[in-house]
Chain A
Amino acid sequence: MSKGKVWKYGNDVNTDVIFPGKYTYSVLDPEEMAKHALEDLDPAFAREVKSGDIVMGGKNFGCGSSREQAATCLKYAGVQAVVAKSFARIFFRNAINQGLPVVQCAKAVDSVEGGEEIDIDFSKGVVETPKGVFDFIPLPESILRILDAGGLIAYTKIKMRKEKN
């Protein structure tokens, strides 16, 4: 992974502020979804985010609705990973299923200011910030395979093809 600039937010960043409900059935193209990413939390985000940037949150990131667009819009906005103290369950699954890496590392979150650059090594399970290097528990192998495939649909496709042969 390459270095990425951090957009840092607080606790309980919910799916309504990540991707407002009014768009859930009207904005269907992922590139269009990206234009509304974090709209009700930080209107500047979608305009200024660069490919490879990292979104950071406190505890319970992604709480609320099951809408998968909350992960999709971040991914298509160019976000390379989300780092948080903890993730709400459905967002955590949706992010992996969209091929958006999620890292749970409270110490890294505490050590970083918005705008700083950090580096994430997923295989070693470390986040490198200007203040130090912090460990996190890497995701289980079975889940990394979904991420590596680029998301659950791609993964299921590969798996079904293998089972057929």
Chain B
Amino acid sequence: MGQTFSEKVLSAKAGKSVGAGEIVTVSPDYILSHDNSAAIIKEFHKLDLPRVKCAEKIVIVLDHVVPASSERYAQNHKEIREFVQEQNIPHFFDVEHGICHQVFSENGFALPGKLILGADSHTPSYGAFGAFSAGIGRSEAASVWATDEIWLKVPETIRIEMSGKLPAMVFAKDVILKIIGEEGADRANYKAVEFAGPAVRGFSLASRLVMTNMAAEMGAKNGYFFPDEITLAWLQDKAQSEFDVVVSDSDAAYEAVLTYDISAIEPQVACPHTVDNVRAVTEVEGTPFHQAVIGTCTNGRVEDLKVAARILKGKKIHPGIRVLVIPASRNEYLQAIRDGDLEILVNAGCLILNPGCGPCLGAHQGILAPGEVAVSTANRNFRGRMGSRDSAIYLASPATVAASALEGRIADPRKYA
């Protein structure tokens, strides 16, 4: 019996052949944290150690509340900067860089076959590059800083085979929402999700990132795409270290193999207040809202801004609504400027915010009042997430959000194809 990708990576790290269900103690290649590094530092200090064990494995990106919106946040950032300096942590990205998952990827830490841990639930994103990456908590992050090891359970794997070709104005976001809607928010709990099949070969890395990022919303421990020539070409001038491409054996054992024909998928919308409450856009068309958000670690990249710009070019957003655009990183921001997409969006009436998490987690930059509704390209729509407990969030693709911004009500982007 062969092994899955996840079994192979964890076997290599454990130094013995292991299978799903076994618990291994392993040492990660990289460990990511963000603004929560301040809290991790507090936990680390409780261990009475002068130094972290492997400073070069630590990657810190400030992104959640950047720049600091209050004295409290400013103090957190300050403590992180001081710790970075004191511990000689080489991979530190201050407030100007962008969202951790984008910055981590752009800087070549997300590499095939690597074991990556992150104190953030969307760490599974790096599976888009063929890495094994999983989210952990703060105490664990502090403990990894101190000991350079962690226990992990080897996950079972669900393989999702996709065939067909995406229809016009239907995107990776619609595919993953469709899958989460059908399979449920806990279908992949404690499991790996492998995205495969002939359809994925056509997917850009940005689109793959959308799917591995949102694998977290079906409970997945990690997501995975086979690193193909698109991945390897992209990594060529970025990789931080040597890497090996790791792939599942053809006779690996899967918990399940699910098949999806993506040619049949319509634009999808996740309705309040759970990500698996998914409907076709045609069922929720006409729903009024107050704020649109185009950005976040799910959909704030150049290809997302481009599709929004294509829809909004030469037009104005609907009066009375506000549209926040948040490029995922400084690089994406610059490229969107060069491409002219940000100019189109500004002319249409959008408000461009600095790269970062924006209002996604409800900390700043566009909080919802009671009774307000947002349509967002983010990955989560839990009650109260973007502000008031009495607000609501609909999740959709950048195309659907841009089309909705034009009409002031949730709209089907296919009419703008």
Seen from chain A, the residues whose Cβ lies within 8 Å of a Cβ on chain B are: 12, 14-17, 20-22, 24-26, 28, 39-41, 59-60, 63-68, 71, 86-90, 93-94, 97-98, 140, 142, 151-153, 156-157, 160
B298 CB to nearest A CB, Å:
14
Alpha-carbon distance A152/B274, docked complex (angstroms): 31
- Contact A97–B139 (Cβ < 8 Å): yes
Seen from chain B, the residues whose Cβ lies within 8 Å of a Cβ on chain A are: 23, 35-36, 38-39, 42-43, 46-49, 64-65, 70, 72-73, 76, 118-121, 123, 135-140, 142-143, 146-147, 151, 185-186, 189-190, 219, 221, 274, 276, 361-363, 367, 380, 382-385, 387, 389
B161 CB to nearest A CB, Å:
24
Out of A40, A64, A67, which one reaches B389, CB within 8 Å?
A: A40
Out of B49, B70, B120, B361, which one reaches A21, CB within 8 Å?
A: B361
B272 CB to nearest A CB, Å:
12
Out of A17, A28, A160, which one reaches B383, CB within 8 Å?
A: A17
Alpha-carbon distance A157/B143, docked complex (angstroms): 9
Alpha-carbon distance A16/B330, docked complex (angstroms): 28
Alpha-carbon distance A59/B123, docked complex (angstroms): 23
Contacts of B137 in A (CB 8 A): 66-68, 71, 90, 93-94, 97
Sampled A-B contacts (18; CB under 8 Å): A12-B274, A14-B382, A15-B382, A16-B362, A16-B383, A22-B361, A25-B36, A25-B38, A26-B73, A66-B123, A68-B139, A86-B186, A93-B137, A153-B47, A153-B139, A153-B142, A156-B47, A160-B49
- Contact A28–B385 (Cβ < 8 Å): no
- Contact A152–B385 (Cβ < 8 Å): no
- Contact A94–B139 (Cβ < 8 Å): yes
- Contact B47–A160 (Cβ < 8 Å): yes
Known contacts A24-B361, A26-B70, A86-B189; decide if A152 and B140 are in contact (CB<8 Å).
yes
Contacts of B119 in A (CB 8 A): 66
Best-surrounded residue of B65, B143, B362 (most CB of chain A within 10 A) = B143
- Contact B385–A90 (Cβ < 8 Å): no
Alpha-carbon distance A60/B36, docked complex (angstroms): 24
Known contacts A66-B119, A152-B140; decide if A88 and B73 are in contact (CB<8 Å).
no
Alpha-carbon distance A88/B151, docked complex (angstroms): 17
Knowing that A65-B121, A65-B380, A66-B136 are A-B contacts, what are 13 other residue pairs whose CB atoms are under 8 Å apart, sorted by A's residue number? Answer: A12-B274, A16-B383, A16-B385, A21-B363, A24-B361, A25-B36, A25-B38, A66-B137, A68-B39, A68-B138, A71-B137, A98-B139, A160-B147
Contacts of A98 in B (CB 8 A): 139
